[in-house]
Amino acid sequence: MKKFLLSAIAGSLLATAMTPALASESGVHWSYHGKADPTHWADGVPANAACSSGQRQSPIALSEASAQRVASKDFTIHYEAGSVALLNNGHTVQANVSDANDTIVFKGETYKLDQFHFHTPSEHTLDGQSYPMELHLVNKSSSGRITVLGIFIKEGEGNPALEPVFVDLPASQATAGRQAQVDIAALLPNDKKALVYTGSLTTPPCSEPVNWIVLEQPITMSKQQIAGFKAIFHDNHRPLQKLNHRQVSEE
Ligand SMILES: [Zn+2]
């Protein structure tokens, strides 16, 4: 028994040394592949229980046709240009935002933009279609509530607003990264029509509730920009989750 434990410990130390450490804020290893893939995020980790037992999980398959039409928008977006700190957190490339002026007002509550990051392929689907990438802009209220703005990315014209990020993506994991100037308002598509629903974080601890605003009009990135991200993160998307009894509205 002792021998087995020792070899198990040695094995895990070896695995840690050989693969990049993919620890969440709680220090628990999780991944998109292998033994720590999304079907195992809650295994033995009470803090991640929502990943398996939550009833309002994200992402979901979005359908414009079945969305409820509403008369007025629940949200307004107020983003501008500013500086971000770019880093590779082992799961994605993330841009931490420190400007206080980037906000979303959702149902009368102000949410400040905290960070944005990328997934490939897209996590949500729209009318059965998956996109090469999806951008998530994570906004937090003073009381700790979260609203995420999701934007699909399709292959097309190079994205000038994202070039300061993609010109030199952080290829290896680090806790601090380079500064970049990004016009965050310029990241958004012209059409702000969105599918809005209540979901969760798409990474451990899969916390609920999260207000999701997923814009229907995709933005574009060049083949090279997408390939640059895929060279670092080949696949970092969580599979689709059950809709259960949720209503998606179109605003
Ligand atoms: Zn995300």
Q: Mean of the pLDDT values across residues 225-231?
A: 97
pLDDT at 33: 93
- Going from the Cα of 117 to the center of ligand 1, the distance in angstroms, rounded, reads 6
- Going from the Cα of 125 to the center of ligand 1, the distance in angstroms, rounded, reads 14
Is the pLDDT at 13 greater than 70, yes or no? no
Q: Where are the domains of the chain?
A: 53-245
Spatial separation of the C-alpha atoms in residues 212 and 173, rounded to whole Å: 28
| 16-20, 42-46, 62-66, 87-91: least confidently modelled range | 16-20
> Which residues are catalytically annotated?
91
Hey, what are 14's tokens?
Answer: 């070896």
Instruction: Note whether 160 and 221 are within 8 A (CB).
Output: no
What is the tens place of the pLDDT at every residue in 186-217?
999 999 999 999 999 999 999 999 999 999 99
Instruction: Note whether 194 and 251 are within 8 A (CB).
Output: yes
- Going from the Cα of 119 to the center of ligand 1, the distance in angstroms, rounded, reads 6
- Going from the Cα of 170 to the center of ligand 1, the distance in angstroms, rounded, reads 17
CATH number of 53-245: 3.10.200.10
pLDDT at 235: 97
Closest CA to 66 of 128, 118, 19: 128
- At CB < 8 A and 24+ separation, what contacts does 21-24 make? 21/90, 21/173, 22/90, 22/91, 23/90, 24/203, 24/204, 24/205
